[in-house]
Structures are given as structure tokens and as C-alpha cells.
Chain A
Amino acid sequence: MKWPLVERPVPNTQIPLYNRFYLHASPASQFDPVIVWGTEIDADALQTFLHERNRGGRILLTAAHALIRATALALEQCPELNVRLVRRRIYAFRNINIRMAFVHRRYSEIDLMLIEQANLKSLERIALEIWQRMLQAARNEGGRDRDLARLRRLPAFWFRRVVRLYGFLDRHLRLPTLGRLDGTRAGCMMVNDLSFPGAPPMRVYKPTRFPDKSDSFNLTLGPVESKVVTRSGQFVSVNVMPIFLRADHRLVDAQQVGRFLALIRDFLSNPERLAGGHYEQSDIDQVVAEKEKK
């Protein structure tokens, strides 16, 4: 059992008044606290960086891994975003954990995984964890996969009741995470890499909100597109990737959303800044050494 949230909520005095209008509004006012901000990043810089790292690296890196690391580092600098709502109170998360959506190959559907303390992990470490989970899911071998299989077998009547009861408890109580299914609730930010080859250009994207209150923010990366811009008075073609952030105005305002997105943009456009982390390449050596011992 883990307690993902700190014990005390953010004091009222520290919540901006404008956010409190949204926080305490009556549902009858039909307010909409969703903010979506879209921008784009320099895809050439990110792709060059990934190609270079993949030339000599021992684990395959993708844009999704870079996005997770960039998000975690940006959250480290913007701790006011690492929060969620419980009733009408705002609680901070203890750690910077990032949720990621991925395609569960066995069931051809979306599943979630949680990268814990992603701000402390190197890109290689993040990639290793993701490949491990994706292989496990595709083989249907993990504990979470067994739990998901049980959940799939639930009749619709019971499924609805379980989801509603859990949703009610999640909205009203500072719950611990108990198992493999609810473990993904331990992070405020969901990242979604939709930059797969063949994806259509992304002009507008409004990420949905997963029906638990931990999903405070969603960051989605779209596919690479060519664009003509002027640089020093010359027309040049550059590659860009769109990125969309969905945020909750009860937690943050547009200025904070903009500052956070600017940080993400800066990390992904200057990806050499993603290097580092307490776990480095030696982690992979350790995995290989353990396997050889067996």
C-alpha cells in the first residue's frame, strides 16, 4: 500500500482567487475548467538527438521516452502542477510519477503504465522500463495483465458498479494505491505519444480526461510535419511536432500552463538537456549481468 499524496492539502491562502472561483463553483453554473494549449517543438533537434543516441546506445530510444523525461524535469521546476483534486481540496503528489498510454498488443487496446520518479531516471532507464512493460503486456505475463483480464470478464452491470464506487471514493477520499490496477493513479500527468508513422497531421487535439481525478493534466505529442518558416529573411523548411496540453483551471491558470509548456518545448528542442539522471547506462549493464548469471 502506498500513499501517493502528501497528508495536508494546499492551504486556501496559497490557491489563487481566480482558481478558487472554478474550484468552488456550483455544478449548476455549467462551468468548464478545461484549458487546452497547443504549440510545436523543433522536431529536427529531437530526431537528430535520438538518432545519435541510438547509434551508440544499448537501448532503443524513442520520442515517447524523451517526452516522459522532459515532462518529469519540467514538473520538477513547476511543482504547483504536480497536484490533484480530492473533493474541493488540492493535494500535492509526493513524487514525480508520469503515466503513459500505450497499445496493449495482446488486446489491441490502450493500457496505462506508471514511470515512478521519472525525474530521477535517465532516458535509458525510462526506455528499459517501458520496453519491459510492453513486452510483458504483449505476452500477457504481468500481474496487471491478469487483473485486467479479470476486469474484462466482469458483466456490464458489475463493471458499472465497481467503476462508480471506485470513482466516488477516489473523488472524495485521499486514497492509498493498493494494487496493480490503481497504481497508475499515483501521477498527475498523462503523456501520450501519437507521433507514430502514418498519423495524420494534428491541427487540434483535445485529450480526454480519464475518469479518475489523478489525471489532472494530459500532454500529447503529434506526428512530424514539414513547415516553411523565415529565418534571417530566408524561407527554410523545418520539421516540427505539435504538442497539446490539457489542464484544469481549478489547479492552475493559463500563465502557469504556458510556462510549463515553454519548459517542455525547451527540453525537447534542446534535447541534450535531457541527459543525466541518477540511473545511467550502468543500469542496463546490471540487467545484462543478472541475466548472464542465471
Chain B
Amino acid sequence: MSSDRKGLEVDLMHFVQSRGTRYAQATLQTDLLETGMLDSLLLMDLIFHIEEAYAVRFDSDQVNPSNFRTIEDTVSFVLKQKALPQA
């Protein structure tokens, strides 16, 4: 799967928007926390979609509001993690 910023944005946007009508309006900048869209089920699904598609592993301390507030934030976090040397 394409892991450049654009490709990641499109993929994660599609992932969130496909959750149902409530999520169809989500944009890259939608605050998923303030709008109440991000619950633990979506969060887990999102994390494991990223782990499986982009080989980035999340630790519990990385379940951080700043990494998941918007899709844009999540994309930035994934790109940052991918740039780090893997353990």
C-alpha cells in the first residue's frame, strides 16, 4: 500500500468514512475527539489497519490524543514512525 502522505491520507480517510453515515462527513481536519466520532472500537480498528497495512507498531503510551485527534495527525504520526529505525 502506498505510504506517501497523499496515499496514506486517502487510505485512512476512506477507512474512517466507510464506518457509516455518521462518519461520511469526516475530513482530514475533522476533530474526531471533539465530535465524538472516535470511540475505542474505531481506534482499535484504525490502529490495526495501520499496523497491518504499513508495518507500524503502536504501544499503549502512543494511544495519545495528539496522534488521533484528526486523520491528518494520525498520518503525520505514521510517517514519523516509519522514518524511525525499526526495533
Contacts and interface: CB of A to CB of B under 8 A. Distances in A.
A191 interface: no
Contacts of B42: 197
B79 interface: no
Contacts of A54: 33, 65, 69
B4 interface: no
Interface string B31-44: 00110110111111
Contacts of A20: none
Contacts of B65: 54-55, 57, 59-61
A131 B20 contact: no
Interface string A38-77: 0000000001000100110111111010000000000000
A40 to B, nearest CB: 17
Contact of A294 (B63, B69, B87): B87
Interface of A: 47, 51, 54-55, 57-62, 64, 102-103, 105, 127-128, 131-132, 134-135, 138, 195-198, 224, 284, 287-288, 291, 294
When A and B form their complex, which 3 residue pairs have the shortest distance between CB atoms, in order from nearest?
A132-B60, A54-B65, A131-B60
A58 B64 CA distance: 5
A162 to B, nearest CB: 29
B54 interface: no
Interface of B: 20, 22, 33-34, 36-37, 39-45, 47-48, 58-61, 63-65, 68-69, 87
Nearest to B65: A54
Nearest to B40: A62
B63 A131 contact: yes
Contact of A59 (B20, B34, B64, B69): B64
A105 B42 CA distance: 11
Contact of B44 (A59, A138, A197): A138
Contacts of A55: 65
Contact of A128 (B37, B44, B61, B87): B61
A284 B44 contact: no
Contacts of B47: 135, 138
A57 B20 CA distance: 29
B41 A103 contact: yes
Contacts of B22: 197-198
Contact of A60 (B36, B48, B64): B64
A10 B47 CA distance: 47
9 contacts: A59-B63, A59-B65, A103-B40, A105-B44, A105-B48, A135-B59, A135-B63, A138-B44, A224-B36
B64 A196 contact: no
A291 B68 contact: no
A135 B39 contact: no
Contacts of B60: 59, 128, 131-132, 135, 287
A224 B48 CA distance: 27
